[in-house]
Structure 1
Amino acid sequence: MKKYIVLLRGINVSGRNKLPMADLRDLLNDLGFKNVQTYIQSGNIILEAGEGKSVICNKIKEGIQTKFGYDVPVIARTIPEWKKAIVKYPFSTENEKIVAFVFLNKKVYETKIEVKGINNDQYLIDNDMVYIYCETGFGKTKLSNNLFERKLNVTATSRNYNTTLKLLELAESPS
């Protein structure tokens, strides 16, 4: 069994795709995952599984579709991959309120995309991650999941600095 951090995109956002975390945990346990934990209401999961990431993502996606009727993108990372993403963050983390990690469902080979009007916001595309530093704040930035999905032909979901660190902390604590 290996431990994974799994991210759902678009759960419990703006009143859409309402999915109580207790119901999600029940589903994941029913699907055979072990030591299932969720963190806050936005689709952050820690679990143990014997399968690889693509099998885990497909099982969860199909399970949510069947039980709740939602088509939800699912992205999984191992603990070493999660740690690597944190260590590789290239910008200042002094003001954690403007730091985010964008997790992609697959590796990309582009390193730059055309984005107009990002002012002092910055991004770095690195394999299956995009690191963003939003000096203007997340509410005003053009650097969004939708932008990266459209320009890179991927599924993307973002987590802020504090959530990213908390998920690692929870994943590393004994089950």
Structure 2
Amino acid sequence: METFVALLRGINVGGHHKVPMAELRTEFEKMGYSKVITLLNSGNIIFKAASEDEYKLQDEIFSNISKAFGFEIPTTVIKAKQILNLTADNPFSNESLHNNIRFYATFLNNSSKSQIPLPWQSEDGAYRIIYHQGRIICSVLDLSVSKTPEAMGILQSFYGKKITTRNWNTVVRVENKLASLK
């Protein structure tokens, strides 16, 4: 059994697409996954599966939970060891964090064909992409430069719409939970 992290996009945001975590956990268990843990209310699920094929799991979870909740729920599945490697590498270690700076990790639904040179920076300097390894991209957003950043639009123009983004603090919480399971 391998440990995975499923990241759901666009649930429980602004009162739309409500997905109770207890019901989500039950749906994962119905699919035969074990040791299912949900973190926060934004669709971060740690689980164990017999399959090692994250793409197969991703498709199965997308299909089943979309049917169960009555609307499409874009799903990305990443092997737990990739999250642990990401946090160990910490792409943000040379970045300064303050009130206007946000660190983000974006997870791709599939392998990216985009070959933008890194680090990449928006014209106004408000948004930088600093890391891309496999299906994970890390970026820095400076709200002091622009109050209405187009970060998601920029990411989608490079990598497509099948992505989901988490604040770095959320990624660290997932990593802490994964580390406690060992």
TM-score range, shorter chain: 0.7 to 0.9
Q: Which moved more, 1:130-139 or 1:42-51?
A: 130-139
- Where does the alignment leave 5 or more consecutive residues of structure 2 unmatched? none
Matches of 1:62 and 1:155, distance apart in 2 = 15
1:135 to 135, 142, 155: 142
Contact 1:7 1:75 in 2 (8 A): yes
Q: Paired residue for 2:165?
A: 158
Matches of 1:161 and 1:37, distance apart in 2 = 19
Q: Paired residue for 1:103?
A: 107
Contact 2:25 2:37 in 1 (8 A): yes
Aligned CA-pair RMSD: 2.5
Q: CA deviation at 1:150?
A: 3.5
SS at match of 1:62: helix
CA distances 1:32-77 after superposition (whole Å, capped 9, x unpaired): 0000000111000000001121121111111112111111111111
Matches of 1:102 and 1:141, distance apart in 2 = 16
Q: CA deviation at 1:13?
A: 1.0
Q: Which moved more, 1:131-140 or 1:164-173?
A: 131-140
Q: CA deviation at 1:147?
A: 3.3
Q: Paired residue for 2:128?
A: 122
Q: Paired residue for 1:84?
A: 85
TM-score of the aligned structures, taking structure 2 as reference length: 0.83
Matches of 2:176 and 2:54, distance apart in 1 = 20
Matched, 1:69 2:33: no
Distance 1:150 1:72, change over 3 A: farther
Q: Paired residue for 1:36?
A: 36
Matches of 1:88 and 1:135, distance apart in 2 = 18
Q: CA deviation at 1:135?
A: 1.4
- Where does the alignment leave 5 or more consecutive residues of structure 1 unmatched? none
SS at match of 2:142: coil
Q: Work out the number of aligned pairs and report it.
A: 174
Equivalent residue letter for 2:45: I
Q: CA deviation at 1:11?
A: 0.7
Matches of 1:9 and 1:48, distance apart in 2 = 20
Q: Paired residue for 2:25?
A: 25
Q: CA deviation at 1:88?
A: 5.0
Equivalent residue letter for 1:156: I
